[in-house]
């Protein structure tokens, strides 16, 4: 009985958290080397999780798309989907937010220059890395803003 309690205690004490690729990528957005978790190999597949599936698709796009015409037609990029739905997006994107305001900023009197520089650098790094990923959604975002005179508003008032 004591050996079983010792074994269970050792298992509890040796427990370590397992973080997925999404969590590590989210927490390591600053410049520098990114730590990678050990990848267990199970049945010749060494990844798990949503981001690993996306990574596998992005790294091996040419190999699996060249082999099968069915896969070429079935897997569409977000740009292709937006092209196919462009008419629908232009006609029916009419949910307009009630107010658009600048984001909230914190203000302190005489902040340390290093902190101010660090926050500015972080903001520029985030915007430079995120803007290429969201450029396809720019047209949808612009359609959701009110530009006067907006023909859609005139049509709905009539």
Per-residue pLDDT of the chain (158 residues; tens, 9 = 90+): 788 888 888 877 777 777 777 777 766 665 565 555 555 555 555 555 555 555 655 555 555 556 667 766 777 777 888 888 888 877 776 666 666 667 777 777 888 888 888 988 998 998 888 888 888 887 777 776 665 555 555 555 55
Q: What DSSP state is assigned to residue 135?
A: G
| pTM over cut 0.85 | no
Distance CA 39, CA 20 (A): 10
Q: Where are the domains of the chain?
A: 77-96+113-158
Q: Do 47 and 56 form a contact (C-beta atoms < 8 A)? A: yes
Which tokens is 34 given? 């990114």
Which tokens is 132 given? 């290429």
Residues 6+ apart with CB under 8 A from 27: none
> How far does Cα 20 stand from its chain's mean position?
15
């Amino acid at each position: 009985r004591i050996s079983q309690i010792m074994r269970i205690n050792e298992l509890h004490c040796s427990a370590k958290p397992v973080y997925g690729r999404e969590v590590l990528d989210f927490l390591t957005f600053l410049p520098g080397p990114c730590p990678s978790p050990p990848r267990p190999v199970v049945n010749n597949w060494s990844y798990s999780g949503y981001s690993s599936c996306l990574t596998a698709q992005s790294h091996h796009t040419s190999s699996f798309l060249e082999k099968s015409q069915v896969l070429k037609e079935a897997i569409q990029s977000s740009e292709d989907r937006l092209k196919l739905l462009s008419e629908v997006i232009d006609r029916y994107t009419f949910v307009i937010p009630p107010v658009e305001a600048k984001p909230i900023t914190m203000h302190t009197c005489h902040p340390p220059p290093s902190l101010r520089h660090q926050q500015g650098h972080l903001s520029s790094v985030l915007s430079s890395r995120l803007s290429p990923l969201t450029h396809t959604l720019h047209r949808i975002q612009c359609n959701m803003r009110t530009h006067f005179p907006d023909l859609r508003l005139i049509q709905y008032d009539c």
